[in-house]
Amino acid sequence: MFYVADAGGCSAHAYDYAGTRTGGRLAFPSCIEACRGPVVAPDGWVPSGPDTSGGLSSMIWATDSRHRCGFPEGAVRPIRVGWFDVRASQDHHVANFIGLFDSAATVGLVGCDVAGDRAVLTARSASSSVDAVAVTSLSRPKVLFERHFASGARNRVTAVSVAPNGRAMAVQHADQAPPRPQTPVPASCSPTTRAGRPLTMCAVSPEPGAPFPVPTAVELYALSGVPHLVSRVPGREIVGWSGDGSRLITQPGSAPGGGVTVQRVGDGQVVWQTAGTFNRALSAPGLATIAIQTFDPSRRQSSIDLIDQLGRAKHLDDHGQLISPEP
């Protein structure tokens, strides 16, 4: 199940991955600058009661949509990973990893599979490139896989992504041109409304001609058993997964433009593509169908495509109205 916001932006309606609108609905409070809606798990479940952190920061959902994982508050080193059941937030668990990423500027948690006893962590440098990735146990202080990447090289690791089912990992490599000197760029502002109240939205445009990372390859790793490299996808940037981890959602790179594809992990075969610009993708852990929202610049409108395992799609507009099934 996933949610699509209504035209007013103050509520969202639930849809199943067949494109059918269900009775579920989320209400967002009135706001001026930002709306914070209810917490929604990856499988569409909405926990009842107050949102609690369980004493953790930088939280992510575990693959079962019932646990949340994060870093316990307190000392930064050694690195500790905690997790708790959202139905019993006072009962949480912590694993400690002494000596892991000791010199890292920033440590992030990008994957958590409580049932599979796996967590995926990244270490980033001050330049924001990924310097290292590690796969750890959650039940014991054991590092199962650790890889460090050359620092200062033009070809850098720019992102690490874990499949929703927690069984695969993608490591994105890209050529990063040296940064150019920045010059002040004036902000462009436009008046609009949010929840019936006036709001002015401003955006600072990037420096004209600023270089974008150029993707060179995605390395795919299996995380079951001993984590290991299984294949490479050349020249694409990964932006999402199917919930069962069998397909990747990719685009040409970080520069503006379209060309979104869905391709099989095993052989790289493209099963679906569109010229639209990628916006967002959702798929529940273990589910084959993917919901992808793209923007068509020629018609200046968004749409949602529900793509099954064979690449067949149903089209919805950006408010959930069924347009037409693809033959």
> Any idea where the domains of the chain sit in the sequence?
1-38, 50-150
Does 302 have pLDDT greater than 50? Answer: yes
Residues 203-207: what's their mean pLDDT?
Answer: 45
3-state helix, strand, coil split of the chain in percent (to 5) is 0, 50, 50
Say if residue 269's pLDDT is above 50: yes
Place of tokens 């099934």: 325
Cα dist from 126 to 152, 153, 169, whole Å: 11, 14, 23
Pick the more confident residue, 227 or 28.
227
The phi and psi torsions of 233 (rounded to 5 degrees) equal -115, 115
In the prediction, which pLDDT does 199 show?
A: 42
pLDDT attached to residue 66 = 92
Q: How confident is the model at residue 200 (pLDDT cuts 50, 70, 90)?
A: very low
Q: In what order do the strands lie in the sheet with 301-307?
A: 277-282, 290-296, 301-307, 313-317, 322-325
The four Cα atoms 113, 66, 249, 234 give a dihedral, to 10 degrees, of -10
Residue 183 has pLDDT above 60, yes or no: no
User: Once rounded to an integer, what is the mean pLDDT over residues 298-313?
Assistant: 87
Nearest-angstrom CA–CA distance, 200 and 42? 32
Is 216 a residue whose pLDDT tops 80? yes
Q: What integer pLDDT is reported at residue 192 of this predicted model?
A: 45
> Nearest to residue 166, comparing CAs of 132, 201, 138?
138
Higher pLDDT, 320 or 88: 88
**For the ranges 113-127, 200-214, 298-312, which has the lowest average pLDDT?**
200-214
> What is the structure's pLDDT at 179?
59
Q: Mean per-residue pLDDT for 222-245?
A: 90
pLDDT tens column, 81-110: 999 998 876 778 999 999 898 877 789 999
Residue 169 in contact with residue 160, Cβ under 8 Å? Answer: yes
Q: Which stretch of 141-150, 187-196, 203-212, 220-229 has the lowest confidence by average pLDDT?
A: 187-196
- Among 15-24, 116-125, 240-249, the range scoring the smallest mean pLDDT is 15-24
- Residue 133 tokens read as 């990735």
Strands in 237-241's sheet, in edge-to-edge order, are: 237-241, 247-251, 260-264, 270-274
Q: β-pairing, 2-5 with 79-85?
A: unpaired
Cis peptide preceding 78, ω within 30 of 0: yes
Q: What is the pLDDT of residue 325?
A: 42
The position carrying tokens 């950006």 is 318
Q: Give percent of the chain with pLDDT exceeding 70.
A: 77
Asked whether the predicted pLDDT for residue 301 surpasses 70, the reply is yes
Q: What is the pLDDT of residues 16-64, one digit of tens each?
A: 888 888 878 777 665 555 555 667 888 888 887 666 777 888 899 999 9
Does the pLDDT of residue 119 top 90, yes or no? yes
Higher pLDDT among residues 248 and 318, named by residue: 248
- Looking at per-residue confidence, does 289 or 202 come out higher? 289
Residue 246 DSSP class: S
